Structure formats: C-alpha cells, structure tokens
Amino acid sequence: MNGLDSVYIDRTAEPMVKYFYYLQLNDQFGEVPLQSAKVFGLYKSNAIPPPPNYLRPDTTSFGVKLVWNKPDEYVNKYHIYRNIGDDENLSELKVIQSTDSVVQFLDTSSSLKGNRVYYYSVRAENTSGNLSRFSDTVQVHPKIKTVINSPKQLNGYELDGKVFLYWENLFEKDETIEGYKVYRKKLGDVRNEFIALFDTLLPPKRNNFVDITPAEGNDYEYSVKAFDMFGNESNFSSSIKISIPEAPILPPAGLTAISIDEGIKISWQPTSQQNNKGYKIYRYERGRIPKEIGSVNAETYEYLDKSCTNGNLYFYFVKTVNNKGKESVPSEELGIRK
C-alpha cells in the first residue's frame, strides 16, 4: 500500500477463518518503526453451496448406507433427512461433519424395518453456515430381517371330511403382504411339527382355505403364516384344532341264503367304501347269543356254512371290517332252515 491508502481488502481470506492483521509503516529513510496493534477479522460468505453430488444408497443387514460427493471446498457439514412415517415427508435425521471428498453415512436406527421403503436426501452446509438445496431424493429398502404381523382370528370347521379355514385379511392394513401359507400337523404324530400344505403362496386378498386331504378318524392342528413382498415372514398364527370324524362303516346289503347239500350258502353285495379289510359272518338260533362262524377278505362276497344241522332254523347277519379292525353294525338279518 502507498502512504495515502487508508483501506485494504484481503481477497484471499477463506470464509469463517479467523485472521489477525497489523500495520507496519516504512519511512522515507527505510527505517521500520514499531508496528500497530493487532486486530482480527472474520469473513462470512453469503454464497449458497451446491447440494451434495451423486447421492447413492446401499443396504446392509443392519441398516442403510448413504454415499455422496463433496459439492465444494467450503462445505464441512451435512444434514441427512429421512421419512419417519409411512408417507414420503422428510424430517432431519442427523447432522454430521466431514471434509472428505467422498462422504459416507450409515443409518442403523432401531426404527428401520425390512418391510418398508425409506426416502433419503442430504443438504450441505458451508463454513459460513449456509445450507444448500436438497440433493436428489433416493429410496431404499433395508435388508433387515423383519418379523411381520401374524394373521389373527384363525377359525375353522369340518364338513363332509373337509376342513374350512378362514382368518384376518392382513392386506387390508398392509399392502406389502404377498400371500399366505397354511400349515398342518397330525396330533399324536411322532414328528409333531407343522408342515406346509402347499409350496406356493395363497393370494394376499384370499384369507381362506379348504383342506380336502385330511384322513378320517384323525385330529389335526392348523396354523397360518403371512409373507410380504420383501421376503419377510410372520410367526405362526395362533393354532386351531379340528377333528375329522371317522365315517361309519357300512354293513353289506342284499343278504341272501340258500340251503345246498354242503350246507347253507350266504351271499351279499359289497359296500362302496374303500379301505375295508373283509367281512365277518355271524349265526344264531332263537334264544341263543350270535357267534362268529367265519370271515372272508374284502374281495369275497359269499360264505358256505358247513357246520349247520339238517332241520334246524338258523339266522345269519354279516358285518364289514375296516382296515383298523373295527366292525360295522350288523347287516339285515336273514333266517333259513337247513
């Protein structure tokens, strides 16, 4: 500066850096007198910084990772925003300091769930305290394993050997529900564990199922699980126990008897039921208790009684025997004299 100047502008000062200044006069003889007292100056810029560049998200098993580029040399703080509720409205989540050219932030909030989509944006703050515009908004689904709500109000009943089940429609409250699986276990079974009745999912809006595969005479326990579009599943719902009554064993019909030289031949018509083991033939005389006199397999529909006595009056009936050894009620009774 020359001796007539009274103002000096330091155009090399960086924003919000404290500088100290003093004056020193040089006289015409080249002597250097004492310097002036020191004063400090602080430059605050009004410039708005650009927003963070190239914001990109990534997911981990424990949170969401954000990475972006530093927008200019004077930025040293960042404000991270995320939606808190179920909508897309952003709220400030955290403020961090960083002077790195590439900045990283890891959101490990306990409120993060694996069955939701989250939106993030970042604002830069420079050393003068000025905030940038929001960066681009990115969306991300955390890879956090989340147990979703189980179906409630599981109910059911048996009708004609089928089991009808129905439960709460979770899709009405959560449109991320992808579907349901129905599980069953046979009470008294050694495995004693629920087995899925099918591999694919029931549609999300279908909250009912008809099991046409239970076996009569067994007791079953049913439960349901829900699955969402992110691969999460619920725990088992509360279970329900349903018994399948055993169908009554039908006795043979069309019983006939004829007396022949070898004895008395009894014939009948087979029943239409499956899983029958065979037939038992009973005989008695008036005033006496019926006794089993013979049995045949399920493919035989006649029996020859060789133990009868000429002149006696006999009464016959037949019972069906199932594969569990249980007998039907007696068939129609038929009397014949030898």
CATH of the domain at 60: 2.60.40.10
Q: Are residues 211 and 182 in contact, defined by beta-carbon separation less than 8 angstroms?
A: yes
pLDDT at 323: 87
Identity (one letter) of the amino acid at 113? K
Best CA proximity match to 330, nearest among 268, 278, 281, 293: 281
46 located within any domain:
no
pTM of the model: 0.59
85, 105, 140 - which closes a domain: 140
178, 212, 243 - which closes a domain: 243
28 located within any domain:
no
Going from the C-alpha of 133 to that of each of 51, 84, 87, 137, 241, the distances in angstroms are 5, 20, 21, 11, 60
81, 114, 140 - which closes a domain: 140
pLDDT at 4: 65
Same domain, 170 and 210: yes
Same domain, 211 and 229: yes
Same domain, 161 and 230: yes
pLDDT at 33: 66
What value does the mean pLDDT take over residues 235-260?
A: 93
297 located within any domain:
yes
Same domain, 234 and 188: yes
Tokens 């005989």 label which residue? 283
What value does the mean pLDDT take over residues 192-218?
A: 94
Same domain, 258 and 302: yes
Q: What is the dihedral sign for C-alpha 323, 324, 328, 334?
A: positive
Assess whether pLDDT exceeds 70 at residue 140.
yes
In this prediction, residue 115 has a pLDDT band, given cuts at 50, 70 and 90, of confident
Same domain, 262 and 233: no
What domain range is 118 assigned to? 53-140
Going from the C-alpha of 209 to that of each of 86, 171, 213, 282, the distances in angstroms are 31, 16, 12, 45
Q: Which two three-digit tokens encode residue 233?
A: 């599943």
In this prediction, residue 234 has a pLDDT band, given cuts at 50, 70 and 90, of very high
DSSP state of 261: T
Q: Which residues contact 216 (CB under 8 A, 6 or more apart)?
A: 161, 244, 245, 246, 247
Same domain, 208 and 183: yes
Q: Collapse the DSSP code of 306 into the 3-class scheme (helix H, G, I; strand E, B; otherwise coil) and give the result.
A: coil
Assess whether pLDDT exceeds 70 at residue 13.
no
pLDDT at 81: 96
45 located within any domain:
no
What value does the mean pLDDT take over residues 186-199?
A: 90
- Count up the domains in the chain and report the number: 3
pLDDT at 144: 84
Same domain, 237 and 178: yes
117 located within any domain:
yes
